Amino acid sequence: MSGSLLYMVTATFPNAESARGYNKFAGNVVSQVVGAGMSMGAISGRVVALDGVQGDPRVRIQTHYVFNDRAAFDAYNSSPLATRLKDQGRELFGSKGINIERMFGQIVDETLPVR
């Protein structure tokens, strides 16, 4: 996995009510991105509900995608699929006070358990 690219999208909502339905939406997005195939899609993905801070009502949900390399990420990011998924997210959650942060970087080392 060394050399692979990790793409993270953090969605921050003002409260739990505004975040309702996002986990299901994000899971559907991950399934589509992973299912897009190796030349354009991610090789793995997950949805993570981040722990909150006491007294802070905000809800943070993060999606992680691992791509084979930057070329695969670039192919996905410039694809009609990525545009459609981002547009769907804005349509469903844009009026709910959501803040989206996107970050990515190269995985330089990773240890996975032997099964």
* All structural domains of the chain with their residue ranges: 5-106
The CATH architecture to which 5-106 belongs is: 2-Layer Sandwich (3.30)
Rounded to whole angstroms, the Cα distance separating 37 from 42 reads 7
From residue 87, alpha-carbon distances to 52, 65, 98, 107 in Å are 27, 18, 14, 28
pTM listed for this prediction: 0.85
3-state secondary structure (DSSP) of residue 11: strand
Tell me the pLDDT of the chain (115 aa) as tens digits: 557 999 999 999 999 888 889 999 999 999 999 987 766 778 999 999 999 888 889 999 999 999 999 999 999 999 999 999 999 999 998 888 899 999 999 998 888 788 7
